Structure 1
Amino acid sequence: MRTRPPSGFLARSRRAFVAVLGSAALALAGALAVPGTAHAANVLSNPGFESGSLSPWSCSGNLGSVVSSPVHGGSRALAGAVTSADTAQCAQTVTVRPDTAYTLSGWVRGSYVYLGVDGGASTWASSPSAYTQLKVPFTTGASQTSVKLYVHGWYAQGTYYADDISLDGPGGGGGSDTQAPSAPANLTSTGKTSSSVSLSWSASSDNVGVTGYDVYSGGNQVLSVSGTSATVGGLSPSTAYTFTVKARDAAGNTSGASNAVSVTTGAGGGGDTGAFKQAAPYLYLGWGDPPNAASVMSATGVKWYTMAFMLDSGGCNPAWDGNRPLTGGVDQSTINQIRSAGGDIVPSFGSWQGSKLGANCSSASALAGALQKVIDAYSLKAIDMDIENTDEFENEAVQARILTALKTVKADNPGLRTIVTFGTTTTGPTYYGNRLVEQAKSLNANIDVFTIMPFDFGGGSDMYGNTVNAAEGLKAKLKSTFGWDDATAYSHLGISGMNGLSDQQENTTPAIWTQIRDWSNSHHIARLAYWAVNRDRPCAGGGVVSNCSGISQSEWQFTSITAGFKG
């Protein structure tokens, strides 16, 4: 993993910058006419990110977000969540005048932060604990009418911040593009929960080309996307919102507003029929004498299964267990059987071991592409990322890659629900669990459900008390991170237990699981699952094995209890 820019790279960057300034000076000395002089006016749009959105800035890998701390001036700044494979470059293209001198400047904070002109000069600074100012003077070409400006960090160096970016000089004129796109049409709501609304609309047209769309709630811009759909999250339950959308082009021209759509979010809790509620025990076809899925559905009333596990078969290509084909095999036959019986599935990507897509795909966009293959193959309504072990859960770059990929596929698939599942302590998330929640907020990943696995934490005999305490710890973290109330935080929370004996000999009996189910219903959480239906058979004294629970119980008893979860 690259932990800092190679020393040779930094040296080359410095030499290139000096060379650019030197050649510019020679050009000025030998020129017959001096380039136009820049007037003291900032021609950038949203230079301090005070609008609360990125527009018209565009960030690679969807790794940019607007934050309220730390800032240099005003109340907001840009945060770029650098990964080991992406520098989180954020750029804006503006119209300029030919043969004219400009000065690009900005305040940055972080390890190895760059400010520059695409195809031209740049500079950098390393200031992890305080903002420092960068300046890049340059002169446009004889016929140049636009320029792309950027800021970015460096591989695996952590999140950088930028604020109060300025391009001092005259705005573009003459032959620059001044025609605005047509207004988006047919704006409609495609789904809602107690805290989000999904929207779609018809594409706009433009004389040059549409580069993006800005979504407004009332008069406030809340989201910028490149496609013709979006999900607005972080909303309050039982609240009326009115949305419109505007298109924009590369020159910064903005269309008129689309038609307005008014949507009232769900009530939250049990009364919210639009909220995401899922009772979905794990079914694993890779071991443990897999039962007939339709027969278990008939015996228990369960409708959903979490199908495990989707792994990497090599080259960032998804396959069941990493070796069974994505389609055409036993997994697809089982899914068809489940759907024929009136049920559905959510695939689980990851697990404790195996070759995982999150760890092995080279970038967030590559991972999103792998997820999309599975979404397309099965027309999925939801996906679960089981983030475990040091290669994913305890790797901050991979955490960011997974969250960014989930953000991408959610934006590309209106109505898709995204779930992240991870381990916990008896009192709530670990350091890495807390960081996962914080990164989801920072990246605006809009995760629907944060699911904890309250077992194998060596928590003693009180599995009900420890499970509730762990869930309450996660709820508190969601409240403090997202600013949600209790009801909204619970509605984004899931529990995934382990029936019977855990790997550490913790014992969750049917009576305890019933208590956990009843607590989950009374607090209206989003998801209840357990590992696994394969083990939902009695074998008192059988130990921790793949095809039974190790305790005395009725066949499919845990699945029947889980089916009683309604949220």
Structure 2
Amino acid sequence: MLSPSTARVAPALVCSGHHSTASGGPVRIGNRIVACLGAALLAGAGAVALPTTAQAANLLDDPGFESGGLSDWNCSDGAGSVVSSPVHSGTKALAGAASASSNARCAQTVAVQPGTTYTLSAWVRGSYVYLGATGGTATWTASAADYTELTTSFTTGAGQTSAEVYVHGWYGQGTYHADDISLDGPGGQPDTEAPGTPGTPRVTGTSATSVSLAWDAATDNVGVTGYDVFRDGTLATTVTGTTATVTGLAPDTGYDFTVRARDRAGNTSPFTAAVHATTDPDGGGSPGFVQAAPYLYLGWGNPPSPTEVMSATGIEWYTMAFILARNGCNPAWDSQRPLTGGQDEAAVNAIRAAGGDVVPSIGGWSGNKLGPNCSTAQALAGAYQKVIDAYDLTAIDVDIENTDEFENPAVQDRILNALKIVKQNNPGLRTILTFPTLNTGPNSWGDRLIERAHALQADIDNFTIMPFNFGGHSDMYGHTVNATEGLKAKLTSVFGWTDAEAYAHIGISGMNNNSDVGEVTTPQIWTQIRDWANSHDIGRLAFWSVNRDRPNWEFTRITAGFTG
């Protein structure tokens, strides 16, 4: 594999009358990288007076990402996110998930003064991290195991009133981090001109719980950075493009939507005319997506007859484990057994013949998973589609754990985008994310997963946490409730849902009897958890696993009493 110093490199740039490669670093010109880090004038520079000296004053908004979001930054390919660790200072930093097809470029445009010298600096961490100004100079580091400061300077051209600064990684080099980015110098005239009104808002699709919208782009003297979508006068979501899907809606209900544009200075346009949409009826005839589905694993532990368990307990759904990758981006049971023609398909057919159904669990803690093996969201969606088609599924669950998926920003985003694609291609399909939790709610990776699900408009139906393996905590009922309440708080904060809407999008997946670290959940505790889940109308209840629920299927029988 070519290294970043040799891959995708254009001919050398003529700098100050020379071909210059001595500085060893690249500058972006259009979509190509060339070797040249000498000082350069930005566009518009010519025979001008000597530049003025910049006075130290950071012109960037949210330079340390302490807001927890990226509204002030424009990150390509959805590859940027805000993380809580590692940071240089404060509590937040930027993570850019550079992949084979994206360098995870994040940029911000600011007002500047003509003919003025500015100093740009940032603390970065990772392999081949770049800092620069578009049309000007750049600097980089080949490898920074810990935060390292990069500094460069540039001079604006005559008549130049804005400048774009950026940070990015390199193709295939993995996630980089950046923090405390600073652009020192005098600011330009403040932008007080509002964008124009977006054009022609329209409804492009509906489901029982969502409405998809589109509109024509607005114009602005500097540039539109986002659009606010309002539902019945309340902000529902903010997007950077000209489409949005508003989720968490009630079935068979009418809503009015308006859109306004926003520029980097915070100026907002007038609202569009309202467009009306009515969500679809809930075809299932139920109050929402409710699923009691304990795990059944045919690859381990003397698996029981699923129909005998159904007859003995009244359970109707199973979460069937595990779909993994085989020979690249191809789905198979345990990476070994084919989707059809074996014991797994026979079990699914028997369950359905007995009046039940299944949701396959894709992923898990260990094994060769599809998320890292499928190189793009489109390829991963294709793998998911093979599973959907094999069993004509109405729901799929992605169990996202461990460092290869859960703690990997690029794979997190790939999974979310893939689920968005299959949701769009399979009307009525329910999508579930299952992931670990702290006893107080999601950890930083869980927070990121939820935030990116919202930002990417993935339209996830259920966020299921696994409240166990906390490290020896004895009060499994109390800690399960606290973890679920923490998830509810995060969902209401990110999606703007009511408490009831958030609970309806929540699932609990426990572990019967002993957890991996010795925590004990008795049938009595599981009954308490089930009753609490029913009283709060959450959407899903599962446990690991029916294989371990012997000899009397007590936990399965308790789970069958979950009504949501």
| TM-score (normalised: structure 2) | 0.63
The one of 341, 358, 372 aligned to 1:345? 358
1:529 alignment partner in structure 2: 542
Give the residue type in structure 1 aligned to 2:317: W
1:201-222 CA distance string (max 9 Å, x none): 468699xxxx998451248583
The one of 168, 174, 178 aligned to 1:160? 178
Task: Flag the 1:103–1:24 CA change in 2: closer, same or farther, 3 A.
Answer: closer
How far apart are residue 565 of structure 1 and its match? 0.5
1:186 aligns with 2:200: no
2:300 alignment partner in structure 1: 287
Does structure 1 retain, via aligned residues, the 8 Å contact 2:137–2:152?
Answer: no
Aligned length: 493
1:244 aligns with 2:244: no
1:438 aligns with 2:447: yes
1:12 aligns with 2:30: no
1:267 alignment partner in structure 2: none
Give the residue type in structure 2 aligned to 1:223: T
1:269 alignment partner in structure 2: none
Distance, in Å, in 2 between the alignment partners of 1:377 and 1:213 is 40
Distance, in Å, in 1 between the alignment partners of 2:323 and 2:381 is 14
Task: Flag the 1:169–1:378 CA change in 2: closer, same or farther, 3 A.
Answer: farther
How far apart are residue 321 of structure 1 and its match? 1.0
Distance, in Å, in 2 between the alignment partners of 1:133 and 1:213 is 30
Distance, in Å, in 2 between the alignment partners of 1:10 and 1:263 is 63
3-state secondary structure, aligned to 2:368: coil
Does structure 2 retain, via aligned residues, the 8 Å contact 1:451–1:527?
Answer: no
Distance, in Å, in 2 between the alignment partners of 1:417 and 1:58 is 28
Distance, in Å, in 1 between the alignment partners of 2:544 and 2:254 is 39
Distance, in Å, in 2 between the alignment partners of 1:63 and 1:472 is 33
The one of 115, 138, 145 aligned to 1:122? 138
Task: Flag the 1:132–1:457 CA change in 2: closer, same or farther, 3 A.
Answer: closer
1:404 alignment partner in structure 2: 413
1:448-498 CA distance string (max 9 Å, x none): 324114369555xxxxx6321221331354366566587666555433233
1:364-387 CA distance string (max 9 Å, x none): 776566445545655655443334
Does structure 2 retain, via aligned residues, the 8 Å contact 1:311–1:354?
Answer: yes
Does structure 2 retain, via aligned residues, the 8 Å contact 1:404–1:445?
Answer: no
How far apart are residue 136 of structure 1 and its match? 4.2
2:238 alignment partner in structure 1: 223
Task: Flag the 1:457–1:423 CA change in 2: closer, same or farther, 3 A.
Answer: farther
**Over aligned residue pairs, what C-alpha RMSD do you find?**
6.2
3-state secondary structure, aligned to 1:564: coil
Distance, in Å, in 1 between the alignment partners of 2:404 and 2:67 is 37
Distance, in Å, in 1 between the alignment partners of 2:295 and 2:244 is 31
Question: Where in structure 2 are there 5+ consecutive unaligned residues?
Answer: 7-20, 28-32, 190-194, 219-223, 263-268, 280-285
Distance, in Å, in 2 between the alignment partners of 1:67 and 1:454 is 24
1:43-91 CA distance string (max 9 Å, x none): x9999999998679653452335899999xxxxx996423474653235
Does structure 2 retain, via aligned residues, the 8 Å contact 1:242–1:261?
Answer: yes
2:482 alignment partner in structure 1: 473
Does structure 2 retain, via aligned residues, the 8 Å contact 1:410–1:416?
Answer: no
Distance, in Å, in 1 between the alignment partners of 2:133 and 2:470 is 52
1:420 aligns with 2:434: yes
Does structure 1 retain, via aligned residues, the 8 Å contact 2:331–2:370?
Answer: yes
Does structure 2 retain, via aligned residues, the 8 Å contact 1:104–1:166?
Answer: yes
Whose helix fraction is larger, Structure 1's or Structure 2's?
A: 1
2:78 alignment partner in structure 1: 62
Query: Aligned ranges for residues 64-79 of structure 1 at < 5 Å?
Result: 64-65=80-81
The one of 381, 384, 393 aligned to 2:397? 384
1:487-531 CA distance string (max 9 Å, x none): 666555433233456667766554443333223223433321122
Task: Flag the 1:486–1:89 CA change in 2: closer, same or farther, 3 A.
Answer: same
3-state secondary structure, aligned to 2:417: helix
Does structure 1 retain, via aligned residues, the 8 Å contact 2:440–2:482?
Answer: yes
Distance, in Å, in 2 between the alignment partners of 1:10 and 1:278 is 63
Task: Flag the 1:503–1:435 CA change in 2: closer, same or farther, 3 A.
Answer: closer
Distance, in Å, in 1 between the alignment partners of 2:79 and 2:387 is 23
Distance, in Å, in 1 between the alignment partners of 2:351 and 2:226 is 39
| TM-score (normalised: structure 1) | 0.62
Does structure 2 retain, via aligned residues, the 8 Å contact 1:346–1:383?
Answer: yes
Task: Flag the 1:480–1:293 CA change in 2: closer, same or farther, 3 A.
Answer: closer
1:81 aligns with 2:113: no
Give the residue type in structure 2 aligned to 1:558: F
Task: Flag the 1:232–1:139 CA change in 2: closer, same or farther, 3 A.
Answer: farther
Distance, in Å, in 2 between the alignment partners of 1:522 and 1:53 is 34
Query: Aligned ranges for residues 131-210 of structure 1 at < 5 Å?
Result: 135-137=153-155, 150-153=166-169, 159-161=177-179, 183-187=200-204, 189-192=206-209, 198-201=210-213
Task: Flag the 1:121–1:225 CA change in 2: closer, same or farther, 3 A.
Answer: same
Question: Where in structure 1 are there 5+ consecutive unaligned residues?
Answer: 72-76, 95-99, 141-145, 171-177, 193-197, 249-253, 265-271, 460-464, 537-548
Task: Flag the 1:514–1:319 CA change in 2: closer, same or farther, 3 A.
Answer: same
3-state secondary structure, aligned to 1:286: coil
How far apart are residue 564 of structure 1 and its match? 0.9
Distance, in Å, in 2 between the alignment partners of 1:223 and 1:561 is 41
1:325 alignment partner in structure 2: 338
Task: Flag the 1:289–1:118 CA change in 2: closer, same or farther, 3 A.
Answer: farther
1:561 alignment partner in structure 2: 558
Give the residue type in structure 1 aligned to 2:443: N
Does structure 2 retain, via aligned residues, the 8 Å contact 1:490–1:525?
Answer: yes
Task: Flag the 1:507–1:58 CA change in 2: closer, same or farther, 3 A.
Answer: closer
1:263-319 CA distance string (max 9 Å, x none): 89xxxxxxx934x43211112232344445456445543332212101121323322
2:291 alignment partner in structure 1: 278
Distance, in Å, in 1 between the alignment partners of 2:37 and 2:522 is 72
The one of 257, 260, 272 aligned to 2:275? 260
3-state secondary structure, aligned to 2:24: helix
Distance, in Å, in 2 between the alignment partners of 1:520 and 1:563 is 13
Distance, in Å, in 1 between the alignment partners of 2:179 and 2:310 is 51
Distance, in Å, in 2 between the alignment partners of 1:285 and 1:127 is 43
Does structure 2 retain, via aligned residues, the 8 Å contact 1:456–1:503?
Answer: no
1:308-361 CA distance string (max 9 Å, x none): 101121323322211223455543454455456554432212233322234545
Task: Flag the 1:200–1:387 CA change in 2: closer, same or farther, 3 A.
Answer: closer
The one of 289, 312, 320 aligned to 2:325? 312
Percent identity, please.
42
Does structure 2 retain, via aligned residues, the 8 Å contact 1:475–1:486?
Answer: no
1:514 aligns with 2:530: no
